[in-house]
Amino acid sequence: MYKKSLLILCVLTIIMAILIPSVAYGQGKVIVLYGDSEFSGKTAVAAKLTAKRADNGDSVITIADGWTSRHAKKNIKKEVIKPYNPNVIVLNFGLNDASRDTKGHNRNKLSTYVNNMKSAIKKAQKTGALVIVLTPIPVDYNVRAGLWTDNDLSRYASEVAGLASSMGITVIDAYTLFKSQPNYLNLLADGLHFNDQGSELIANQIDAAIP
């Protein structure tokens, strides 16, 4: 009888781990940072956020590369929702969308970017997770000459912030936040990616947005 009860308990535990992936990551929330290379290995945002959420038992997972919003629209279910069943999804796309090719065209037009983000946000919302949108940031236009313009990044940031707000999504306006600093270039490691100070600033913002 005891062995039978033990077997049933083991089976139930396995089923729960399969049906509720967050159980495998601890007792807290599963937080996924999904975006472009600002969230990749070049930044310490995940490490800093993990430290800030440690007392809650939260787990922070980074899924990022040099992607545009088109990737998010197509892959958010496969890369984020299905494998991790996250409690919090932070979306950070737009920097690569706004970048210009050799002909001076944005990789994704502003309207395309907004539509891609709208689709990704809707898919994230359906999970019941807390969805947070982080806008693209300003960069060092001298180091990154020709690839970005401040006007483009300002427009892309403003449009995605407005979209997210209209959909009831928490917005972290990183563009305005960086611009409000005495010298936002001091927050960048290479004119584009967050340095330690920039990562700390963003991690603080994300942490504050999660109950």
**183: Cβ–Cβ under 8 A, 6 or more apart, which residues?**
none
- Which pLDDT tens digit goes with each residue over 94-150? 999 999 999 999 999 999 999 999 999 999 999 999 999 999 999 999 998 899 999
CA distance 190 to 161: 25
pLDDT in tens, 13-50: 333 444 444 434 457 999 999 999 999 865 689 999 99
**Domains of the chain, start order:** 29-209 (3.40.50.1110)
User: Tokens in use for 56?
Assistant: 């809650």
For 151-176, letters b (16+ CB in 10 Å) and e give ebbbbbbebbbebbeeeebbbbbbbe
Please compute, for residue 113, the number of CA atoms within 13 A of its CA located in the half-sphere on the CB side: 30
Q: Return the biggest CA–CA distance within the chain.
A: 75
Secondary structure (H, E, C), the chain: CHHHHHHHHHHHHHHHHHHCHHHHHCCCCEEEEEECHHHCCCCCHHHHHHHHCHHHCCEEEEEECCCCHHHHHHHHHHHHHHHHCCCEEEEECCHHHHCECCCCCECCCHHHHHHHHHHHHHHHHCCCCEEEEECCCCCCCCCCCCCCCHHHHHHHHHHHHHHHHHCCCEEECHHHHHHCCCCHHHHECCCCCECHHHHHHHHHHHHHHCC
Distance in angstroms (rounded) separating the CA atoms of residues 198 and 195: 5
Phi/psi of residue 166, nearest 5 degrees:
-65, -20
Per-residue confidence (pLDDT) for residue 41, from 0 to 100: 64
pLDDT, mean of residues 167-188 = 97
pTM of the model: 0.87
Q: Residue 27 has what pLDDT?
A: 77
pLDDT in tens, 49-97: 999 999 999 999 999 999 999 999 999 999 999 999 999 999 999 999 9
